[in-house]
Amino acid sequence: MIRVNINDPDFTLDDMPTNWGAGVCRYKGELLEGILYDFFSNTNQLASESEYKEGIANGKQIEYWPNGQIKSEMFEKYDNIYGSFKQWNDQGVLITHQEHDNFGNLIKKII
């Protein structure tokens, strides 16, 4: 699986909306199949990582705090959260944990 920095000149986001309203990500002209990542401005600190399949966010999506702690982790497809959604504060304490079905509906709020 390839890893692509969001600032890579070969990465593009097509504004052409899909049937759910989002654009499509491409790398070197092909639909992105891999992980798109970003850093906080002027640092080497990872800000986010997102799995893509066929040019759309599909799979694990992670955001980080500037101190390196995980801020949120979820699974997404077609702009819908599915499975587990978790959020942490900047000290690494879990503050939200929810479970969603495959259609994005909240099943259970654990925290």
pLDDT in tens, 21-54: 678 999 999 999 999 999 999 999 999 999 999 9
- Domain residue spans of the chain: 2-109
Instruction: State yes or no: pLDDT of 81 exceeds 80.
Output: yes
Instruction: State yes or no: pLDDT of 11 exceeds 80.
Output: yes
Mean pLDDT of 82-89: 97
pLDDT of residue 15: 75
CA 12, 50, 90, 102 torsion-angle sign: positive
On whether the pTM is more than 0.75, the answer is yes
pLDDT of residue 78: 80
Percent with pLDDT over 90 in the chain:
84
* Average pLDDT of the chain, as a whole number: 93
